[in-house]
Structure 1
Amino acid sequence: MKPWLTLMCAGVLLVGCGKQEQPPEPVRPVLSVVVQPQLQARLGRFAGVIEARYESTLGFRVGGRIARRWLDVGAQVKAGDTLATLDPTDQQNQLRAAEGDLARVQAQWINAQSDARRQQQLYDRGVGAQAQLDIAQTNLKTAGATLEQARSSVSQARDQLGYTTLRSDHAAVITAWQAEAGQTVTAGQAVVKLARPDVKEAVIDLPIGIAEQLAPDLTFTVASQLNPAVNTTATLRELEPKADATTRTRRARLTLASTPETFHLGTAVSVTLSSQVSPRSELPASALLERDGKTQVWVVEPQQKTVALRDVTLIDRNEDRIVVSSGVQPGERVVIAGVNSLKPGQQVTFDEDAQ
Structure 2
Amino acid sequence: MAASASPHSKGKKVASPNPRNSSRSPRARLSLIVLAGALALSACSKQVEKAEDIRPVRVVRVATGSVAGGSEFSGEVRARVESRLGFRVGGKITERKVDVGASVRRGQVLMQLDPRDLQLAQAQANAGLKAAESNRDLARAELKRYQELREKNFVSQAVLDSKETAFRSAQASYDQALAAFRNQSNQAGYAVLVADADGVVTGVDAEVGQVVAAGTPVVRVAQLGEKEVVIGIPEDQVDALRKATNISIRTWAQPDRSFDGKLRELSPVADPATRTYAARIAIPGATDDIRLGMTAYVSFQSASADNAIRLPLTALHQDKSGTSVWVVENGTVRQVPVQVSGTAGNEVLVSGGLSAGQTVVTAGVNQLRPGQKVKLLGEESVAANGAAK
Q: Give the TM-score normalised by the residue count of structure 2.
A: 0.59
Q: Map of 1:139-154 to 2, 5 A cutoff? A: 139-154=166-181
Shift of 1:98: 0.8
Query: Structure 2, unaligned stretches of length 5 or more?
Result: 1-64, 315-327, 331-339, 351-355, 358-377
Q: Distance in 1 between matches of 2:255 and 2:230?
A: 17
Q: Does 1:55 align with 2:82?
A: yes
Shift in alpha-carbon separation, 1:46–1:341, aligned structure 2, 3 A: farther
In the other structure, the counterpart of 1:204 is 231
Q: Map of 1:69-218 to 2, 5 A cutoff? A: 69-214=96-241, 216-218=243-245
1:290-323 Cα deviation digits (max 9, x unpaired)? xx979xxxxxxxxxxxxxxxxxxxx99x9x9668
Q: Distance in 2 between matches of 1:134 and 1:260?
A: 73
Q: Distance in 1 between matches of 2:105 and 2:254?
A: 31
Which has the higher mean CA deviation after the structures are superposed, 198-207 or 170-179? 170-179
Question: What is the DSSP-based 3-state SS (H/G/I as helix, E as strand, rest coil) of the residue aligned with 1:191?
Answer: strand
Shift in alpha-carbon separation, 1:102–1:215, aligned structure 2, 3 A: closer
Q: Aligned letter for 1:145?
A: A
Q: Distance in 2 between matches of 1:218 and 1:340?
A: 42
Q: Does 1:267 align with 2:294?
A: yes
1:87-142 Cα deviation digits (max 9, x unpaired)? 11121111111111112222222222222223333333444444443333322222
Question: Are the counterparts in 2 of residues 230 and 260 from structure 1 also a CA contact under 8 Å?
Answer: no
In the other structure, the counterpart of 2:51 is none
Shift in alpha-carbon separation, 1:71–1:340, aligned structure 2, 3 A: farther
Question: Are the counterparts in 1 of residues 140 and 167 from structure 2 also a CA contact under 8 Å?
Answer: yes
1:141-182 Cα deviation digits (max 9, x unpaired)? 221221111111111110111122222222222222222222
Query: Percent identity, aligned pairs only?
Result: 31
In the other structure, the counterpart of 2:255 is 228
Q: Aligned letter for 2:220?
A: K
Shift of 1:242: 2.1
The total of aligned residue pairs comes to: 272
Shift of 1:73: 2.1
Shift in alpha-carbon separation, 1:293–1:118, aligned structure 2, 3 A: closer
Question: Are the counterparts in 2 of residues 197 and 265 from structure 1 also a CA contact under 8 Å?
Answer: no
Match of 1:237 among 264, 286, 304: 264
Question: Are the counterparts in 2 of residues 38 and 282 from structure 1 also a CA contact under 8 Å?
Answer: no
Q: Does 1:40 align with 2:68?
A: yes
**Backbone CA RMSD of aligned residues:** 3.7
Shift in alpha-carbon separation, 1:229–1:150, aligned structure 2, 3 A: same
Question: What is the DSSP-based 3-state SS (H/G/I as helix, E as strand, rest coil) of the residue aligned with 1:213?
Answer: helix
Query: Structure 1, unaligned stretches of length 5 or more?
Result: 1-36, 286-291, 295-314, 328-338, 347-355
Q: Distance in 1 between matches of 2:85 and 2:194?
A: 9
1:250-284 Cα deviation digits (max 9, x unpaired)? 22211235223321221211223333345889999
Q: Does 1:66 align with 2:93?
A: yes
Q: Distance in 1 between matches of 2:162 and 2:221?
A: 58
Q: Distance in 1 between matches of 2:231 and 2:142?
A: 75
In the other structure, the counterpart of 1:29 is none
Which has the higher mean CA deviation after the structures are superposed, 276-285 or 206-215? 276-285
In the other structure, the counterpart of 2:58 is none
Shift of 1:230: 1.9
Q: Aligned letter for 2:76?
A: V
Question: What is the DSSP-based 3-state SS (H/G/I as helix, E as strand, rest coil) of the residue aligned with 2:217?
Answer: coil
1:218-244 Cα deviation digits (max 9, x unpaired)? 533211102211211323222222222
Q: Give the TM-score normalised by the residue count of structure 1.
A: 0.64
Q: Distance in 2 between matches of 1:130 and 1:272?
A: 86
Question: What is the DSSP-based 3-state SS (H/G/I as helix, E as strand, rest coil) of the residue aligned with 1:229?
Answer: coil
Q: Distance in 2 between matches of 1:323 and 1:170?
A: 46
In the other structure, the counterpart of 1:304 is none
Question: Which has the larger Rg?
Answer: 2
Q: Distance in 1 between matches of 2:92 and 2:157?
A: 58
Q: Distance in 2 between matches of 1:209 and 1:284?
A: 16
Q: Distance in 2 between matches of 1:152 and 1:227?
A: 58
Q: Distance in 1 between matches of 2:262 and 2:70?
A: 15
Q: Distance in 2 between matches of 1:124 and 1:137?
A: 15
